[in-house]
Amino acid sequence: MIDLVKQIKKKDKNAITLLYNTYGKKLYGFAIHKWNLDEDEAWDLVYKTLYKIINVIDNYSFETENKFNGFVYKVFINNLRNQYHANKKNLQLIELNEKHSGISEEEEMKSEESKLSPQMICLKKILNQFEDWKRTLMLMKAQNFSYEEIASYIHKPADQLKVYYMRAKQVLIEKVNECVSKAI
Amino acid sequence: MSTNKNINEFELDELLRELSLDENSAIINETEASFVLSQEYPDDIDADKEMDVLNKLLKDTGNSDNSKNWITILLIITLIALLLYSFLRDSGTSKENLKIAHNVINEVNKKKASAQNFIKTTNTTSSIVHVQQNDTFGREKFIRMIAYSDSTKYSDPHPPTTEIEINKGIVPTLLQKDKVLYLKIKEQMLRRIIKSDKGLYTHVPSYKLNYKGKNIILDAFSVRNVCITNLEYKTFLADLIVQKRTSDYLNAQIKTENWLKKDYNSLANLYSQDEKYNDFPVVNVSLKGVELFCGWLQEELKLYIMHHHLKFPDINIRLPYDTEAIFAAREGYAKISFEEGYNTIYDESEGLVDHAFTKRAELSKKRVKRIDTLYSIFATNKYGWKEKDLIEFYSKGNNYYRNIPGDSIFSDRMKVLTKIGRVSELVIEKNSDHVWLSGQSWKSKADYLKLESEFKNNASSPFVGFRVVLINPDDPEYKNPFW
């Protein structure tokens, strides 16, 4: 097992500090600068993620640091997703003057977990036809990564990405709208 | 965004953001994770807030200075107890207690070899055994220490067997966040009943039934579609703690030591405690505990109705009778696993049902097998399996719901996970004291009797859970006018 995980599994003061120093700051920065969360929300997510990792780490073993990174990231994204939906729901509630107040938790959860909007279904369908790197570009740009950052990830020139992204975005909008109108 | 309209640039971004979250929350994406974590983000962190979060983490994981003080106090108390113990031993007044301690130690030592959570330190004159186990809520841990001295003094060749008593007499501490969480779950449970949620409850109208060779009229009732889950039962236990009903808590607590008795050492620390099993059927609960649960749910429902000024009848909540279970199965209101071999109350050999029931059950099974892809999983009787196989089987749940079950009552997820964790259920034979462990199909009656004997010996079992029925005495169908 990797040393980092061994250390963290000790769950003492040093382990918690190590976990925070390795992941906490990065995740905070990611939440603030890429997902535009406010400070308190971002700290809350960092806390929830690290607390969860400490609680469940004994149930897992990791062959490489990358695998552990992936695990931490997944836990964080799950928390982020919940926060994102909660923020979105609050926004809708305000906009709709609490029209949703009669909906049960389960219906809300169903709408979150299983009911995809026609727009989302169409987007997924069309995006799946894209080449991998182009698909990644669209998803990462939506997360506010710069062309330079994405370029280093997908190994393509940043200038080319900018041009491609602008075109692809228009194509996506047209195709999604076309697909949605057919679906109605 | 409305469901059927054209999207603009901004909305496309929103959709893409949502999609990236959905995808990354479902799978482990090592490459993207390493990329995100390798980026440099502006260093604009508020040092005070950073310190607050770090301190909170240290505190909540038991690493604060405060907890160190408590450990010191605990050690001092232990030392005093040991001195007192030594004094009593020398005075020869507590020989009997020491024998019990000795037997407990022997039992614990036997289990220790296979249980990772048992740590033993020994010297020439005394032994201290630290028994460490997650509590029911899986958040706090407690340590129980038992000490004894020179074992040669207690050389009884046939010492009485003493059970390992890990949780007995200990009520876990609830943190404020636990209280808030379980209060939320309690409200969700109650609202499901008030809304007659079809995902969780099915109304069965009054009708006639051939039972023990006679035609009887069955009153209307609502049956739970799935077993009571770990999360629901933990909510009940948490509420008992909040209400300071210590004695009821001790009667109702989950007997996780049953897992240890079968050498299921991992499940002893996971099944009731880990949230990934939240939607699995609660097991290791006694009949007394189940009755307390039913009483609690009924009482809490009344209070909720009163508090919210709702017009809702008084509902009685209890375990199902065999008549209700048979009728619900016959009419297709409840699924049963009906296989070759022995089928407890649904088996003609027991004299409760007739051949018409068997024919009907076979027909229902064909239909269920056609439409329910999980039937084979649901019908698999896992009694006596090795722990490794059991955990592997349970992990199939994660293939259906990859995200760890959240802390919420969500019937779709409960339906799947209670099928994967399917166990026998407590059913009361009407007008009798006989309690059936029903719902599973067995190779032979002898196999079933093993479970029954185990349940009687331990008053609970890792392979027995329960569901409830709701009776509305005001339901016009409740009393048949001709009865």
pLDDT given at position B430? 86
Q: How many domains would you assign to chain A? A: 2
B464 bridge partner residues: B424
**Cα(B42)–Cα(A56) distance, integer angstroms:** 30
How far is C-alpha A5 from the geometric centre of its chain's CA atoms?
A: 24
pLDDT given at position B70? 61
A32 bridge partner residues: none
Instruction: Assess whether B203 and B296 both reside in one domain.
Output: yes
Instruction: Assess whether A52 and A78 both reside in one domain.
Output: yes
Q: Token pair for residue B445?
A: 């009656």
Instruction: Assess whether A92 and A126 both reside in one domain.
Output: no
- Per residue in B334-358, pLDDT (tens digit) is 888 888 899 999 999 999 999 999 9
Q: Token pair for residue B239?
A: 């509420």
Q: Is residue B221 part of a domain?
A: yes
Q: What is the mean pLDDT of residues B393-402?
A: 76
Q: Token pair for residue A74?
A: 């997944």
Chain B: nearest CA to A2, how far in angstroms?
15
**Cα(B47)–Cα(B55) distance, integer angstroms:** 12
Instruction: Assess whether A122 and A42 both reside in one domain.
Output: no
Instruction: Assess whether A56 and A143 both reside in one domain.
Output: no
**Other Cβ atoms within 10 Å of B2 Cβ, number:** 6
pLDDT given at position A91? 52
Confidence bin at B473 (pLDDT 50/70/90): confident
Residues of A in contact with B58 (CB under 8 A): 13, 16
**Cα(B265)–Cα(B460) distance, integer angstroms:** 17
Instruction: Assess whether B216 and B345 both reside in one domain.
Output: yes
Instruction: Assess whether B187 and B316 both reside in one domain.
Output: yes
- Per residue in A19-32, pLDDT (tens digit) is 998 999 999 999 99
Instruction: Assess whether B115 and B203 both reside in one domain.
Output: no
Q: Is residue B65 part of a domain?
A: no
Alpha carbon separation from B401 to B212, B279, B314, B397 (Å, rounded): 42, 11, 36, 6
The CATH number covering residue A37 comes to: 1.10.1740.10
ipTM over 0.90: no
Instruction: Assess whether B142 and B186 both reside in one domain.
Output: no
Are A77 and B7 in contact (CB < 8 Å)?
A: no
Q: Is residue B167 part of a domain?
A: no
Chain A: nearest CA to B356, how far in angstroms?
39
Which of A69, A85, A126 best tests the B interface by mutation, with the highest count of B CBs <10 A?
A69
For A117, which of B3, B63, B410 is closest by C-beta distance?
B3
Instruction: Assess whether A34 and A63 both reside in one domain.
Output: yes
Residue type for A82, please? Answer: N
Are A106 and B411 in contact (CB < 8 Å)?
A: yes
Tell me which chain B residue has its CA closest to the CA of residue A114.
Answer: B412
Question: Any chain A CB within 8 A of the CB of B415?
Answer: no
- Per residue in B135-181, pLDDT (tens digit) is 676 654 443 333 333 333 333 333 333 333 444 567 887 887 888 88
Would you tell me which residues 87-146 of chain A have a C-beta closer than 8 angstroms to some C-beta of chain B? 104-106, 109-110, 113-114, 117-120, 123-124, 127, 138-143
Instruction: Assess whether A59 and A138 both reside in one domain.
Output: no
Question: Any chain B CB within 8 A of the CB of A66?
Answer: yes
Instruction: Assess whether A138 and A94 both reside in one domain.
Output: no
- Domain limit, last residue, from A99, A130, A146: A99
Q: Is residue B171 part of a domain?
A: no
**Cα(B115)–Cα(B264) distance, integer angstroms:** 9
Domain that holds residue A37: 3-99
pLDDT given at position B49? 82
Question: Any chain A CB within 8 A of the CB of B198?
Answer: no
Instruction: Assess whether B337 and B192 both reside in one domain.
Output: yes
Q: Which DSSP string corresponds to B292-354?
A: HHHHHHHHHHHHHHHHTT------EEEPPBHHHHHHHHHTTSS-----SSB-GGG-GGGTSS-
**Cα(B280)–Cα(B260) distance, integer angstroms:** 19
Instruction: Assess whether B448 and B316 both reside in one domain.
Output: yes
- Per residue in B44-53, pLDDT (tens digit) is 788 888 888 8
Residue type for A25, please? Answer: K
Which of the 8 DSSP states describes residue B29?
A: -
- Per residue in B418-462, pLDDT (tens digit) is 999 999 999 999 888 899 999 899 999 999 999 999 999 999 999
Instruction: Assess whether A32 and A83 both reside in one domain.
Output: yes
Phi, then psi, of A37 in degrees rounded to 5: -75, 160
Give A53's contacts (C-beta < 8 A, 6+ positions apart): A8, A19, A23, A71, A72, A75
A97 pLDDT higher than 80: no
For B199, which of A50, A106, A184 is closest by C-beta distance?
A106
B194 pLDDT higher than 80: yes
Which of A36, A79, A143, A171 best tests the B interface by mutation, with the highest count of B CBs <10 A?
A143
Instruction: Assess whether B388 and B274 both reside in one domain.
Output: yes
Q: Is residue A84 part of a domain?
A: yes
Instruction: Assess whether A77 and A134 both reside in one domain.
Output: no
Chain B: nearest CA to A161, how far in angstroms?
17
Q: Is residue A106 part of a domain?
A: no
Domain that holds residue B108: 94-153
Instruction: Assess whether B231 and B120 both reside in one domain.
Output: no
**Cα(B196)–Cα(B191) distance, integer angstroms:** 8
pLDDT given at position B117? 42
Instruction: Assess whether B425 and B296 both reside in one domain.
Output: yes
Give B396's contacts (C-beta < 8 A, 6+ positions apart): B377, B420
Q: How far apart are the first and last CA of chain A?
A: 53
Mean pLDDT (chain B) is: 79
